[in-house]
């Protein structure tokens, strides 16, 4: 894990992996809230599902805050590459 400071003085962590085991986890709650337009608008965020879509978004310069994948995909080269390019707050 490496961190650097973004323009607003906030610390960002690149490629950090956290295991989530509960639907009550705040990360999961935030992702589920993206189903609501008002939450998407307030956060300036949306959800993209599927590895190809994620890779395409990264290649087009989009910043990904959270990448969620199944534990069984750990070690998948494409998933690991996408995770390394993910910038978490």
pTM for the full predicted model: 0.69
Task: Report the distance separating Cα 38 and Cα 57, nearest Å.
Answer: 22
pLDDT for 5 beyond 50: no
Rounded to whole angstroms, how far apart are CA atoms 89 and 82? 16
Domain count, the chain: 1
- Token representation of residue 24: 């009550």
**Nearest of 66, 87, 77, 62 to residue 20 by alpha carbon:** 66
Give yes or no for residue 8 having a pLDDT over 60. no
Q: What is the pLDDT of residues 33-70, one digit of tens each?
A: 999 999 999 999 999 999 999 999 999 999 988 899 99
CATH code for position 26:
3.30.1330
Domain with 78, as residue range(s), is 2-88
* CA distance linking residue 51 with residue 33, whole number of Å: 21
Q: Is the pLDDT score of 16 beyond 90?
A: no
Give me the pLDDT at residue 10, please.
46
Phi-psi domain of 15 (left: phi exceeds 0; alpha: psi -120 through 50; beta: other): left
């Amino acid at each position: 894990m490496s961190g650097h400071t973004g323009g607003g003085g906030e610390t960002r962590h690149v490629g950090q992996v956290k295991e989530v085991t509960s639907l009550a986890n705040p990360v999961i709650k935030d992702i589920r809230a993206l189903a609501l337009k008002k939450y998407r608008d307030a956060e300036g965020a949306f959800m993209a599902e599927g590895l190809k879509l994620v890779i395409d978004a990264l290649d087009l310069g989009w910043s990904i805050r959270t990448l969620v994948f199944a534990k069984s995909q750990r070690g998948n080269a494409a998933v690991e590459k996408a995770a390394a390019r993910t910038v978490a707050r």
